[in-house]
Structure 1
């Protein structure tokens, strides 16, 4: 689907000369993310609104404060194991796209396309929409006071946030990196405020309301304990985000694993300490009756200044949305580059060296999900689908150890870790089959619809002419509008 629109005029000079002395002009995304940027991205993706809103999910399933803290620490360790497994995959397969790239390398194009299809219809737009709505709710709550913000206002603010962040991601990668660092600082301030307040309440005021009987009412039901892990691991989602942009990380063989080894233990410690702080100030009953634990916490300790917590939660959610927009757009970009999506999505802006069509495509899908009134029912589909493909990716690591044992692996983890994480992932996949069978059937149905699309539109060598013609016209139009070209164009000028 290669198209040209006066490329000799619009391509910048870059790339040196070939063997005949001709100037080669190439366009590619630059490696601009360093170690600090990588840490900020992982922290920004994981630490969102969840730690401020939903710790009651773990407490509700465990039944006691003591077991809930153990579950939070265990979920952090499990996520860390998954992250180091992905560090091996990311340094061995140095390609953006994360799970999409790893599934394609391990199993072939069809499984990779199944993931891309699920990401297109479920994982990315639903996740982004939920985060955007959480931001809008919390940024509007101080304005509305005791009343709940109107649904229209929430969706308009959410759409505005998606639009502004998409614009920033289109314009300048340096802005993206700096903004992510700012958002990380805001998250640290918010969590630091909660933790320090809890420490003051314990050491100075002598409070420990949730730990007076830490293991009272502890559940012994295995299904409820499993559900608590499901809730806890959901709050750690995003630990693999840096793998989606591996091609834009400087010295990925060093910085990718370093960012993981630094950020994951810090996040785990902060999550555990935050939950301890909640339980110092609040009783388990107060947490279970709260729809937003951080706000209830603020009501107890800050009184009229609770709006500070609400604003910090909103900024935290905005930072997560920012990271998600940046990383998820690369999945579509790599998919289009491999011929699994229209070629227009694989174009790169000449001026900004950013995949503008892919970012706008992803933003448009998110906007559509904001229009759907019952978008929250899709959260269960998202969790199941993500767990399924993470299990497949880690299984791919084990398969590649056997299939390609001689491939250089800058990071090579002990086999105990991927095997253990694979078992945990399989458990997370199987558990919803019994607890939410209809959601599982629906999610599988959506994924299966990718198979005929793959064989009719991608695997076939002779595609219908109208499809090729429409794709070419769309590509040319995007090239003209965004001054964008395919990656690594090598046009020669005599």
Structure 2
């Protein structure tokens, strides 16, 4: 009786759709990546060009995802798009990498960042208590899993609250910084202008990785298409409005960072001191006392960014369970709460295990970005394939700028993935991603034969 599946319920509106898109993206990136981006580029102009330009690249990808999501408003999101566009094998391999690397790695990295920001606020020395980071990170994942276990409405409420909180806080930074700069209330610095440097491929790669990590998560909303009240309208609107809001927010925040912590000063900060840029900005705009609570802002932001990894992504495993590609338990819907509770908890527990092994924040973010972009390009390319293969299929929304916008997205992402593979520093992360992908091939064929044999016996 308890094995029977229920149905995902359509409870989410446009506000939740935009909130999921924005909340899935704004996390650690806008706080921890501006320093590495600034130190890898030769001028402020390049900083703004890449934050805006790569945001537009992600927006072009969102156009394609919006068309696919409106065509296939079912649970599964990117898994369903790849399955329909390229066949079940490609869809499964995405789900495989998504479970073992992309989604779980993102959750583990965000949970670790959450713990590292929250512990100083609690006056806990992680050096004196080495298990404190693991404990707090695991507790965060456990709490998010519990919230999402009890219903999509509760999970969406948490998402809305955290999104509004961090947008409001970032808005205060922007407005406070603009007011202080206009009134000359920001203390000047003594940093000298950095030496003029030429643009290097290694610098571009660092900047691309950091900015793409900051935008990571824009694809999450289609996983919840089966729970949107009007997916044919709310899914495209949620993706597009959410991405535009993100580009404007990131550009404004970076403008304040550079106004309050000048480019020359950023270049002289120690490499890896990622928290210093937002800390110095808040300290100079408001006060050292307010800056001390920046850790709480970042912790809330990170937790809000991690929530969609359970609110949305478990729906992909639910869809794979329906297709017989994963154990049936992942297909189980809680009869009372209407959530894929087994999928939620299995992903949460695996992410907690990964917390024990994650070491460097940069390595895990580079690894997640590489693994993600392999399938982003294939998903966007599915728009072209499905236009030819299913020309008469209803398309409530058609990709804006087709075929130019998907072509530009694929060009940038393929170039980025190839550069990661060729770079001697980042190659290790890329090869680990390829190894996980390759490990899914024999499992897929074994699972397919096992399911076929079971059906033959029936």
Structure 1 or 2, whichever has the larger Rg, is: 1
Cα distance in 1, alignment partners of residues 31 and 354 from structure 2:
24
User: How much has 1:447 moved relative to structure 2?
Assistant: 0.7
Q: Does 1:380 align with 2:366?
A: yes
1:313-363, CA deviations, whole angstroms, 9 ceiling, x for partnerless residues?
A: 110111111122111211111111111110011111111111111111111
Q: Is the 8 A contact 1:39 1:260 kept in 2?
A: yes
> Which residue of structure 2 lines up, in the alignment, with residue 422 of structure 1?
410
Cα distance in 1, alignment partners of residues 308 and 114 from structure 2:
14
Q: Does 1:437 align with 2:427?
A: yes
Give the 3-state SS of the residue equivalent to 1:458 in structure 2: helix
Equivalent residue runs for 1:104-143 within 5 Å: 104-143=83-122
Q: Is the 8 A contact 2:358 2:364 kept in 1?
A: no
> Which residue of structure 2 lines up, in the alignment, with residue 329 of structure 1?
314
What number of residue pairs does the alignment pair up? 445
User: How much has 1:149 moved relative to structure 2?
Assistant: 7.3
1:45-64, CA deviations, whole angstroms, 9 ceiling, x for partnerless residues?
A: 01112101211122122122
1:460-486, CA deviations, whole angstroms, 9 ceiling, x for partnerless residues?
A: 455589xx9xxxxxxxxxxxxxxxxxx
Which one of the candidate residues 129, 140, 155 is aligned to 2:134? 155
Q: Does 1:98 align with 2:88?
A: no
Q: Is the 8 A contact 2:77 2:222 kept in 1?
A: yes
- Between 1:429-438 and 1:36-45, the stretch displaced more is 429-438
Q: Is the 8 A contact 2:282 2:290 kept in 1?
A: yes
Distance 1:456 1:141, change over 3 A: same
Normalised to the residue count of structure 1, the TM-score between the two structures is 0.84
Q: Is the 8 A contact 2:66 2:235 kept in 1?
A: yes
Distance 1:215 1:271, change over 3 A: farther
User: How much has 1:43 moved relative to structure 2?
Assistant: 0.9
Equivalent residue runs for 1:68-467 within 5 Å: 68-144=47-123, 150-205=129-184, 217=196, 219-288=198-267, 289=269, 290-292=273-275, 293-301=277-285, 302-374=287-359, 376=361, 377-413=363-399, 414-435=402-423, 436-461=426-451, 463=453
Q: Is the 8 A contact 1:42 1:241 kept in 2?
A: yes
Give the 3-state SS of the residue equivalent to 2:76 in structure 1: coil
User: How much has 1:252 moved relative to structure 2?
Assistant: 0.6
Which one of the candidate residues 15, 37, 43 is aligned to 1:64? 43
Cα distance in 2, alignment partners of residues 226 and 209 from structure 1:
32
Cα distance in 2, alignment partners of residues 284 and 84 from structure 1:
34
Distance 1:97 1:189, change over 3 A: same
User: How much has 1:271 moved relative to structure 2?
Assistant: 0.5
Distance 1:307 1:215, change over 3 A: closer
Distance 1:64 1:209, change over 3 A: farther
Cα distance in 1, alignment partners of residues 166 and 453 from structure 2:
49
1:6-26, CA deviations, whole angstroms, 9 ceiling, x for partnerless residues?
A: 97xxxxxxxxxxxxxxxxxx8
Distance 1:6 1:170, change over 3 A: closer
Distance 1:373 1:67, change over 3 A: closer
Structure 2: segments with no counterpart, 5+ residues = none
Q: Does 1:36 align with 2:11?
A: no
Structure 1: segments with no counterpart, 5+ residues = 8-25, 469-494
Distance 1:440 1:395, change over 3 A: same
User: How much has 1:73 moved relative to structure 2?
Assistant: 1.1
Q: Is the 8 A contact 1:141 1:148 kept in 2?
A: no
Cα distance in 2, alignment partners of residues 138 and 165 from structure 1:
18
User: How much has 1:118 moved relative to structure 2?
Assistant: 0.6
Cα distance in 2, alignment partners of residues 183 and 321 from structure 1:
11
Cα distance in 1, alignment partners of residues 43 and 330 from structure 2:
49
Normalised to the residue count of structure 2, the TM-score between the two structures is 0.91
User: How much has 1:408 moved relative to structure 2?
Assistant: 1.3
Cα distance in 2, alignment partners of residues 208 and 79 from structure 1:
36
- Between 1:201-210 and 1:425-434, the stretch displaced more is 201-210
